[in-house]
Structure 1
């Protein structure tokens, strides 16, 4: 059986304003991942700065923070076998122009700075847990079983 884990995903303000939340949620559900938390929020500047803290010394940091606080986002936690890597594969490259068709950014993203979605980095161990803790309290994470889980995992 694949080890199940939880990972953080966020539909960014451009994705929310374009009405893409349902499309994005459907893609993860169809893949077999399980939504265990979700909320529609406006991110306060201090949380945005903490979330993007690893980019603090980069020239694009202020732009990232300004954009992610420019409108509502839909923050989510997804669970499944190797979820962080699975989600990143589905999301595609940071630059939509480099993302293959079939990925979320390849199909829905238009611009590097407006790439519709954020997902925890599978190459940065612990980023999924850190980001989940930034946006969700433990009580907001719902544990339940999907009826098709026996079909999805050995």
Structure 2
């Protein structure tokens, strides 16, 4: 089993609905540990970098406007196989297809308002964590 750290973004819909504690409670109940956490307001520059794979798509402005609509909470979450396990706990990206009992199935609305972004691979996590956390902001304990 691999010890990993994943980036999670508690998205504007999560923040607006006051679900931050519930989401973190579910993740911590699985044995994962918060290694870093902060609330931030996303900028166009950061969003273009984070969503570079869709930045040229016609729907990107809608995604960017949603992600800037409220602050997000960036979380560095650590644990054994955290990346794949968290994605299972979240359910599919499209909340309408996510089963009840998953985070997106219980709290999400659709593909965009789906409560949480989570890294999809160790490689992506390494890049994303550096994008959202400075040196010294992620802790081992």
Report 1:9-48 matches (<5 A): 9-48=8-47
Distance 1:59 1:120 in 2: 23
Gaps of 5+ in 2: none
CA deviations on 1:99-120 (whole Å, 9 max, x unpaired) are 1111100011122221111111
Give 4+ residue runs of structure 1 displaced > 2 Å after superposition.
none
Gaps of 5+ in 1: 145-154
Structure-1 residue corresponding to 2:123: 126
The structure having more radius of gyration, on CA atoms, is: 1
Structure-1 residue corresponding to 2:70: 71
Distance 2:120 2:2 in 1: 17
Distance 2:47 2:56 in 1: 15
Distance 1:29 1:103 in 2: 14
Matched positions, count: 141
TM-score by length of 1: 0.88
Report 1:86-125 matches (<5 A): 86-122=85-121, 125=122
Q: Secondary structure at the match of 1:68?
A: helix
Structure-2 residue corresponding to 1:150: none
Distance 2:63 2:77 in 1: 23
TM-score by length of 2: 0.95
